[in-house]
Amino acid sequence: MSLIPEIPAAPFVPLYPALGSLNFNQEAYAYGTAMPGVTTRLREIAAACRECALAAREDAMSAEASRMLSAQQADQAMSYRNQAANSATAAAGSASTASTHASNAVGAYTQMQALYLGAKTSNPVKDNQGNALQLGAWYTYVGTDPALKGVWLWWDGTGWNPGIGPVVGTLMPKSGGKFTGYASGPEGATGEQFPQAQEVVPRAVRYYDKSIPMSAAPVGTVCFFESTDGGGMDWPYKTNVTIHGWLVETWDRGGVRSMQEATFTLSGFAATGAKFRRYKHDTGWSAWARELSDLDFRERVVSAYTGVGPGAAKLYYLDPKVGSIHHVIVEYNTHFAAAFRDIGDQVTLRMQFYGGAWPVSFNSDLRFPVGVSMPTYTTGQIVTVTFVWTRAGYIDAFVAGVHTA
C-alpha cells in the first residue's frame, strides 16, 4: 500500500505590476524572477496530488477486494447462522427427549429400588423407600447365617424364600456334576423323572427291641422287632409270648392312612406263623386283627362285665367287630342287643352269672327257636347262645346249653 504524501504549501505569487507604475520595471522583474519558483511548487503540488490519487486508487481497489471478501463472509455467516438456528431447534428437541428419558430413568430406578433391595444382613420388612414390600422383591443375604450366606431371597407376598445362592454351589451344569448333599425326587415318578430311592431299591432290614413301639416303624421299610423278655407296648401277643421275632411292614398315604402287618417269624413257638394286621385313620391305630391262614384259625374272644346294680337293667351290645366270642360276666339284670354289621355276621354269647341268677332279656330282632326258651341256670353257671344273621331283620339264636363255672 502506497503512503499518502504531504501536499506542499501553495507558492507565493507576487502581484502583477500595474501599468504605468513608477516602479513598473522593478516590480516586473521581481514578478518574473518569482515565477520559476511558483512553477516548481505547482509541479510539486501536482506530483503530490498524483501520489495521493494513486494511493487513493490503490486503497479503493483494496477496499473493493475487502468488500467482496466481506460479502462472501457475510454469506457464510448467514449460512452458519441458519445452521446454528437449525442446531438450536434440534437441540431443543433433544433436550425434551433427554428430559423424558431422564424422567423414565428416574422412574425405572425407583421401581428397581422397590424390587431389588440390595445386600441385607436380615430379612427387610420395607423396601428401600420405606414402602410395603412388592411381590417378587428380592435381596442378597450377607448376614451371619452360613446356610443363607450369599443367597438371593425373594418375597412371595407373605414371607422370604431362598432363590439362588452362589452360582457354583447352586446350579448343576448340563454336562453333569456331583451333589454333596441328597437330591429329592417326586413320589410315583414317571417317564424321565427320577424316582425316590425307596420305590426302586430294597432297603436293608432295620432292627428294633421292645423299647420301640411298632407304630414307630418307618414307612416302606422292612423291620424286625425282637425281644427275649416279653413284647413291646403295642406288639401283638405282647403279654402271653415271652420270646418275640416279628417281621413288620408299614404302608402309608400322606401320614393319615396307614396299614401295618406283623408276622411272627421264629419257629417252634405258640405264635409261629401268626400274622396280624392293623390300620390307622388320621391319628389312632386300630387294634391288631389276626389274618386267617392254614397255620392259624382261631376266633377272637372278648371278655366283659355288665356292671353291678342296683338301677335299671344293664345294656350290652353284641358287636362282632370286637370279637366273635363274647364272654360276659353278668352282675345284674341285663338286656342284650345286636350291633351286627351285615348278613353273615355271627357272635357266640357266653353269659356267666356272678352274685345271683340274674334275669336277662333280648332285643326283638334276636329270635329263639320255636318252643325254645332260656334254660334254667344258677349263680356261677355259664349259658352259651350263638347268634347268626342270615336273613333281613332276623338274627337267629341257638341255645347250646348250660355249663358249670
Identify whether residues 80 and 17 lie together within a single domain: yes
Residue 179 lies in a domain: no
Tell me: do 225 and 262 sit in the same domain: yes
Please check whether residue 362 lies inside any domain of the structure: yes
Single out the residue in 73, 103, 133 at which a domain terminates: 103
146 and 206 in a single domain? The answer is: no
Q: Are residues 149 and 82 in the same domain?
A: no
211 lies in the same domain as 146: no
- What is the rounded CA–CA span in Å between residue 279 and residue 252? 10
Same domain, 57 and 78: yes
Last residue of a domain, one of 168, 190, 223: 168
Q: Please check whether residue 47 lies inside any domain of the structure.
A: yes
- pLDDT at site 66: 81
Domain count, the chain: 4
> Are residues 87 and 157 located together in one domain of the fold?
no
Residue 186 resides in a domain: no
Q: Mark whether 306 and 394 lie in a shared domain.
A: yes
In this prediction, residue 379 carries a pLDDT of 96
**Do residues 317 and 259 both lie within one domain?**
no
Question: Cβ distance 37 to 14 under 8 Å?
Answer: no
Q: Among the three residues 290, 324, 356, which one is the final residue of a domain in this structure?
A: 290
Please indicate, yes or no, whether residues 99 and 38 belong to a single structural domain of this protein: yes
- Confidence (pLDDT) at 98: 74
Residues 220 and 141 in one domain: no
Residue 86 maps to a domain: yes
Residues of the chain with pLDDT under 70: 1-2, 104-110, 164-172, 198, 201-203, 239-240, 293-297
Domain that holds residue 154: 121-168
Structural domain contains residue 191 = no
User: pLDDT value at position 263?
Assistant: 93
The confidence score (pLDDT) of residue 106 equals: 64
Same domain, yes or no: 24 and 97: yes
**Domain membership flag for residue 183:** no
158 within a domain of the structure (yes/no):
yes
